[in-house]
Amino acid sequence: MDYLLAIKTAVILFPILAFFITGPYILYQYHKFASIHPLKTIIIYSFVFYLLCAYFLVILPLPTIDSVMENPDWMIQPIPFHFVLDFIKETPLVLSEPITYIKTIFHPSFYVVSFNILLFVPLGMFLRYYKG
């Protein structure tokens, strides 16, 4: 349910932020080319919506101040690729036993990494479009 809250918040704030972010881009396109290409505008709007949803999926829901004070372990992970060590420590994966492969797929340390990768796939597509 928390994911739906983040997406609902993004949908509510999208028209306001999209106007302020894409407004200058549209004006620049109009002054440079004397027209506004509708497909480029739609792609810009979808990119802004993607960034907004990704931001809210990562940030929301914010924990209460009391829960943060009680559990100081909820901090940003500054060590790159530390998730690999977490995956090795926490999952029931044993390479010599194929029955553990399915258990590993449904373990939280696996799907957190998988969903983070899926979260950034559209960013790669948008960047590929913009860079040509």
| 56 and 42 in a common domain | yes
Whether residue 81 is found in the same domain as residue 129: yes
* 36 and 99 in a common domain: no
pLDDT per residue over 64-82, tens digit each? 778 777 776 666 677 888 8
Share of the chain above pLDDT 90, in %: 2
Nearest to 103 by CA among 83, 111, 81, 119: 111
Count: domains in the chain: 2
Residues 88 and 118 in one domain: yes
Give the span between the Cα atoms of 25 and 86, in whole angstroms. 42
Mark whether 80 and 92 lie in a shared domain. Answer: yes
Which tens digit of pLDDT belongs to each residue from 12-42? Answer: 888 888 888 778 878 888 888 888 888 888 8
Do 105 and 48 belong together in one domain?
no
Q: How far apart are CA 8 and CA 14, in angstroms?
A: 10
Statement to judge: residues 8 and 59 lie in one domain: yes
- Confidence (pTM): 0.68
Residue-range definition of the domain harbouring residue 102 = 76-132
Enclosing H/E stretch for 13:
helix 2-33
